[in-house]
Amino acid sequence: MTSTVACDPELRLPFPDAHLFDVASLLTADERQALRAVRSYMQDVVRPVIVDYWNREEFPFELLPGMAEVGLADVALQDRSWLYRGLVYSEVSRVDVSLGALVGIHNELIVGMVNQLGSEAQRQQWLPKLTRFEAVGSFGMTEPDHGSDIAGGLETTATPVEGGWVINGAKRWIGAGTFCDFLLAWAKDAADGSVKAFLIDSSTPGFSAAKIGHKIGLRVMQNADITLDNVLVSSDDMLPGVVGFDSANEMLRNSRVWVGWQAVGAQLGAFDVMRNYALNRQQFGRRLVKFQLIQQGLADLISNAHACLGIMMNIARLQETNQIEMVHAAMGKATGSRLLRESAAIARNALGGNGILSTYEAAKIFGDAEVIHTYEGTYEINSLIVSRAVTGHSAFV
C-alpha cells in the first residue's frame, strides 16, 4: 500500500505532505499538533487496511476508538478554529471519503444539533457517548421520493398522541443507518404541518433499516433505507430547539462546507497515489515521473486541489466572523466536486491498467468522487444556488 511519502528512501520530496502553501502555519501550535495526530492515525493505521473494507462494503468498527482518541468524535465541540476543523475533515477524506462522511455528519449534524437544539436531558444522555464514538447517530432527512426538494416535500409524519408522537414514513440514503444508536428524524406534524425533529432509538418497535448495497463509491459508509412504521416516541424525544427547517440552517450549511473540505482531501489523496506510483514505477527504462504527460497531470491535479483549498480557506475565514452564507458553501461544494472528478480521473488514468484496481487506491477515489459530486446537494443544485445569488433570479420551480 502506498503512503504520503514515496517508498524509495533515497527520494527527498520538497513538499512531502503536498501542501505547497503551508496552510498549517496559519494554525496555532496546539492545532498543528492535533492535526499531525489526525494525519498520523489516518495514514499509518487506517490507510493500510481501509481498501479491504471498501471492497467488502463493510465498516471498520475497531477503528472508532482510535479515531476518538485523536479527537475526531468531538470536532464540533472543540475550541479551535474553523480552518483547523476543515483541515481535519480534509485529512480524514484524504484517506477515505466514507470515514470523512462519518466524521462530518457525526460532528456537524448529530453532535452539533444535539448540543445546540436538544434539551438538557438529551445532551446529558447522548453527548458523553457521542464524543467518544461510543454511540453513533444517523441524520434522517432525505426520503425515497425527496432529496433536493425535501424542504417542501417532506412526507414523514408525526402524529401527536397522549405523552408523545407516532412517527410514520421512510428515509433513504441514511449514513450509518444500519448500526446507529438513534436516528435524528425529521417529520411533519400531522396536526399543523410544522416541521419537527425527533431522536428515535433504533431499537424502538417499528424501526427497521436495510443496507443499500452495490454502490460504486462511499462503500465503507453503511447507507440505509429506513422504515418508520407507527414508531411511538415520547415527548422527551423531540428536539425542543427545532422550529421548522430554519432552525437547522446553520448546521446544514456547515454540513455542505465539510463536503467541500472532503473534495480537497480526496484530491490530495489522489495526488499522493499518483505521485508515489509515478516515482516508483519503471517504464521504458526510467521512472514514470520523468515523462512529461505524467508531470503535466501531477501539476494539474495539485493545482486543482489548491484552487479548492483557496475557496475553502476563505469560507473558514467567513465562518470565523459569522459572515458565511449558503452561496459560499454551495460554491465550495460545487467547485470542489467538479474539480475532484477531473483530478480523480487524472490519477486513475496515470496508473494505466493498475488504475482500475481498487487496491491501488486510484479507482477507489475515482468511485468516491462520484458520490461527492452527488450528495449533500447535487453539483447542479449547488451551482444553481450560486447562480441565484449572483443574478437575483431563481431557477428552482
Q: Read off the pLDDT of each residue in 80-88 and give the average, rounded to a whole number.
A: 98
H helix or E strand, kind and range, residue 138: strand 137-140
Give helix 292-320 / helix 326-350 axis angle, nearest 10°.
160
* pLDDT more than 90, % of the chain: 88
Mean pLDDT of the chain: 94
Residue 175, burial from CB neighbour count under 10 angstroms (0-12, 13-18, 19+) = buried
> What does the block give as the cell for 118?
436538544
Q: What are phi and psi of 355, to 5 degrees?
A: -70, -15
pLDDT band at 392 (very low <50, low <70, confident <90, very high): very high
Better pLDDT: 204 or 395 = 204
The confidence score (pLDDT) of residue 11 equals 55
Residue 37 has pLDDT above 60, yes or no: yes
Instruction: Kindly report which listed range (8-12, 16-20, 317-321) carries the lowest average pLDDT score.
Output: 8-12
pLDDT band at 4 (very low <50, low <70, confident <90, very high): very low
Residue 397 has pLDDT above 80, yes or no: no
CA angle, 346 then 350 then 354, to 5° = 120
> What does the block give as the cell for 208?
427497521
The confidence score (pLDDT) of residue 12 equals 63
Q: Read off the pLDDT of each residue in 207-216 and give the average, rounded to a whole number.
A: 98
pLDDT in tens, 129-165: 999 999 999 999 999 998 777 777 899 999 999 999 9
Residue 340 has pLDDT above 80, yes or no: yes
> What does the block give as the cell for 306?
489548491
H helix or E strand, kind and range, residue 205: none
Better pLDDT: 202 or 149 = 202
Q: Read off the pLDDT of each residue in 177-205 and give the average, rounded to a whole number.
A: 96
pTM: 0.94
d(CA 50, CA 128): 27
Taking alpha carbons only, the member of 80, 72, 70, 20 closest to residue 309 is: 20
Gyration radius of the chain over CA positions: 21
pLDDT in tens, 269-278: 999 999 999 9
Query: What is the distance in angstroms between the CA of the first residue and the CA of the last residue of the chain?
Result: 48
pLDDT band at 251 (very low <50, low <70, confident <90, very high): confident
The confidence score (pLDDT) of residue 15 equals 87
